[in-house]
Amino acid sequence: MLYVIPTPIGNLEDITFRAIRLLKEVDLILAEDTRTSKKLLQHYEIDTPLKSHHAHNEHHSTPGLVNELQSDSKIALISDAGTPGISDPGFLLIRACIENGIKVECLPGATAFVPALVASGLPCDKFFFEGFLPHKKGRQTRLIYLSELPVTFVLYESPHRLIKCLTQLIEFCGEDRKVCVARELTKLHEEVSTDTLVNMIAHYKDRKVKGEIVMVVAGNK
């Protein structure tokens, strides 16, 4: 059995009782960064063995993990924050398990884009999740595609690229398109603000921005 377990995106209280129980019961926990995950596990007094499983080793390590799971091991897959597979490692192992008849159980839990989308005040009955845009090749093509969508779309962005991304969105969406920038979600300095693209640039241009960022952009009317 492979358990896919979401972990808090900031506030350590945002984890389910079931997740804590399973993290204590499994034979092994696969973590994106063991140093980061140790803080969470120590907080909840979980001493299950940890092993690295991240974007740089998942192609190599997946076959061996499948063999372990076929030998009746119970393994939990976590990422640094949020739900594995959502802009984080996990897809390759989950697909390999399904192809090899290994049961996969995914727990509900934290993921950054959901609270940002809901708190944005933008329509969320239908939406498009893009995640991280390409840094160079293909970026313009994706921005053109997203700008024409009739529904709200969601981006992930790093703090040092925020102004660049907002500027590019103005180029393709127009300066009056509404955007929500959600920063440091669930943490002490959480900030969620919705305004036009041009006003959002004015808000952030002279500030030193920190923390993970979710951008929620209104659809093309």
Residues 4-15 pLDDT 10s: 999 999 999 999
Q: Is the Cβ–Cβ distance between 119 and 192 less than 8 Å?
A: yes
Our count of domains for the chain comes to: 2
Gyration radius of the chain's alpha carbons = 19
Beta bridge partners of 215: 155, 181
Task: Give the predicted TM-score (pTM) of the model.
Answer: 0.92
> Does 137 share its domain with 89?
no
Q: Is 91 left (phi over 0), alpha (psi -120 to 50) or beta?
A: alpha
Given 106, 134, 162, the domain boundary residue is: 106
> Which tokens is 179 given?
């955007």
Given 61, 84, 106, the domain boundary residue is: 106
* Residue 31, pLDDT score: 97
Identify the segments of the chain with pLDDT beneath 50: none
CA nearest neighbour of 152 among 64, 100, 220: 220
- In whole angstroms, what is the distance from residue 46 CA to residue 24 CA? 6
Given 106, 133, 150, the domain boundary residue is: 106
* Residue 68, pLDDT score: 96
> Does 84 share its domain with 119?
no
> Does 204 share its domain with 126?
yes
Domain containing residue 81: 2-106
- In whole angstroms, what is the distance from residue 34 CA to residue 80 CA? 8
> Does 121 share its domain with 206?
yes
> Does 188 share its domain with 173?
yes
> Does 118 share its domain with 68?
no
* Residue 108, pLDDT score: 96
With H, G, I as helix, E, B as strand and everything else as coil, classify residue 59: helix
- DSSP states of 133-155: PPSSTTHHHHHHHHHT-SSEEEE
- Three-state SS for 21-69 is HHHHHCCEEEECCHHHHHHHHHHCCCCCCEEECCCCCHHHHHHHHHHHH
Residue 155 has φ and ψ, to the nearest 5°, of -120, 150
CA dihedral 61, 65, 66, 69 (to 10 degrees): 180
CA nearest neighbour of 158 among 208, 97, 214: 214
> Does 139 share its domain with 202?
yes
* Residue 90, pLDDT score: 94
> Which tokens is 196 given?
């036009």
> Does 120 share its domain with 71?
no
